[in-house]
Structure formats: C-alpha cells, structure tokens
C-alpha cells in the first residue's frame, strides 16, 4: 500500500512538473464551458440543470483522457525508467494501480475545477443539487473507464503518439458501441446475443442515465468492471513485456 501511495504521488506530481497539467486543466475547463453554453444551449433551454454540461463529457474525454493516459507507461518505456521502477520492490499490479489512481486523481481535479458551472446554475435558478452531484460522480467514473483503456494501451508502446491515437480510437468504439455504426459491423455474421452484448458495452448508453442524474447500480458496476478489466490487461502486459 505504501508503494502504491508513493508511486501515485510521484506520478501526480510529475503532471504538475511540466506545463501539460496547466494546459490540460485550462483547456478542459474552457471546453466544458464552450460545449455547455454554445453547443448545449445552456441558456436557451431555460432549465436550471447541468444536463447540457454533462452531455458532452464523453466527447471531451474521448480527446482529453488519452492525452493524460498516453504518457503513463509509454514514457517509462522510452526513458528506460520502467527498468528502475520494476526492479524496486513493487509488483506490476501495484504500479498499474498507482499510475491509474494518479491519472484519475488528476481528472478529478479537472472536474472539480468546473465548479463555476455549478455556481452559475445555482445563481440563475434552483437546480436539484443531488442530481448534479450524482452526475459528477457518474462522469468521474466514466473518466476512470476512459483512463483505464488509455493506460492499458500506453503500456503496449514506447511511443506516446501511438498511445494517444490508439487509445482515442478504442475509446471512440466504446462510446459509439450502442449506435448502428458499430453494431452494423457485427450484425449479420454474429449471433444476436453477441450484438446486444456489444451494444450493452456502450459508454453513451450508460452515461445517458447518469447525465440525467440517475445513478443506477448497474451503471456503476458497468464502469467499475470496465476499469478492472483494462487494468487487469494492463498488469498482464506490464508483467510480460517489460523490456523494449
């Protein structure tokens, strides 16, 4: 446990050790605002809630979370520090968890910094703050799922650009899972239950409830299982493919 804490702390500090953190936070906060106000027509709806704000989170994460996850392992590989890290008394699993937690904490900070939205809607009307809190939790969970995918993909390569692009594509598939675009590929040659299983893996479907403020235990289980699965693969990859 102490190891996980030490690595997570170092990892989180390293985000702030470079301008990446500040650029990311500024862009994240700005974009959430842009999406909510301009594309989501926050004012025109005349309703005191943050639905237009949360609705666009999957699309934002699609672009921004891989930017956070890409360096987690790829950078260790390219600089050779993975050799240092894995010869310390640390298991691959602990390192995977620690890095994931650091990235997740960073995304949490980004989410917290969107608090002016919450204040704004409270100033303008009387929203249901319970719904908003639930949506924040849901959004944070979804960010974790994106991050787990990105971290796992980052562990395959030493090239951060590849890690970014591939993670974005895989995340995109997970977001679009419920749509005909992805399902059409499988329909016809896969049995129907597989197709419906694939469509049930959609981030979008599971986030719809969340952005309405409904936290269903199934959605939580869904995101937690996604995180566990990708972190498991991540651990296997780090354990097997330590060198090069």
From the CB of 101, what's the least distance to another protein, in Å?
A: 15
Strands (E), 13-166: none
* Residue with tokens 């399902």, as numbered in its chain: 183
Name which of 18 and 200 has its Cβ closer to another protein: 18
Of residues 158, 187, 212, 242, which one binds another protein by CB under 8 A?
Answer: 242
DSSP 5: H
**Residue 236 is encoded by which pair of tokens?**
């296997």
Listed ranges 78-86, 125-133, 209-217, 228-236: which one lies at the site for another protein (CB under 8 A)? 78-86
Separation of alpha carbons 143 and 132, rounded Å: 16
Of residues 30, 43, 80, 125, which one binds another protein by CB under 8 A?
Answer: 80
| 187 phi, psi to nearest 5 deg | -65, 140
First CA to last CA distance, the chain: 28
10 binds another protein (CB under 8 A): yes
Inter-residue contact 232 to 204 (CB < 8 Å): no
Name which of 212 and 241 has its Cβ closer to another protein: 241
Which residues, at least 6 apart from 14, have a Cβ–Cβ distance to it below 8 Å? none
Name which of 4 and 145 has its Cβ closer to another protein: 4
18 binds another protein (CB under 8 A): yes
Listed ranges 24-32, 77-85, 114-122, 158-166: which one lies at the site for another protein (CB under 8 A)? 77-85
- The binding site for another protein (CB under 8 A) comprises 2-3, 6-7, 10, 13-14, 17-18, 79-81, 83-84, 86-91, 242-243
């Amino acid at each position: 446990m102490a190891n996980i804490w030490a690595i997570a702390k170092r990892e989180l500090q390293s985000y702030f050790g470079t301008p990446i953190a500040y650029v990311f936070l500024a862009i994240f906060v700005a974009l959430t605002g842009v999406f909510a106000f301009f594309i989501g027509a926050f004012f025109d709806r005349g309703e005191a809630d943050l639905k237009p704000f949360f609705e666009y989170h999957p699309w934002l994460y699609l672009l921004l979370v891989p930017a956070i996850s890409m360096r987690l392992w790829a950078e260790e590989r390219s600089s050779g520090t993975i050799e240092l890290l894995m010869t310390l008394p640390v298991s691959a699993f602990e390192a995977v968890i620690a890095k994931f937690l650091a990235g997740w904490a960073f995304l949490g900070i980004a989410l917290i910094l969107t608090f002016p939205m919450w204040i704004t809607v409270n100033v303008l009307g009387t929203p249901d703050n319970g719904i908003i809190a639930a949506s924040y939790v849901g959004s944070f969970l979804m960010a974790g799922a994106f991050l787990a995918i990105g971290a796992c993909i980052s562990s395959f390569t030493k090239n951060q650009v590849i890690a970014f692009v591939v993670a974005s594509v895989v995340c995109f598939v997970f977001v679009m899972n419920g749509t005909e675009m992805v399902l059409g590929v499988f329909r016809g040659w896969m049995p129907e239950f597989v197709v419906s299983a694939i469509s049930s893996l959609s981030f979008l479907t599971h986030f719809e409830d969340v952005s309405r403020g409904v936290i269903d235990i199934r959605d939580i289980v869904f995101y937690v299982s996604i995180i566990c699965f990708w972190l498991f693969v991540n651990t296997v990859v780090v354990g097997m493919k330590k060198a090069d």
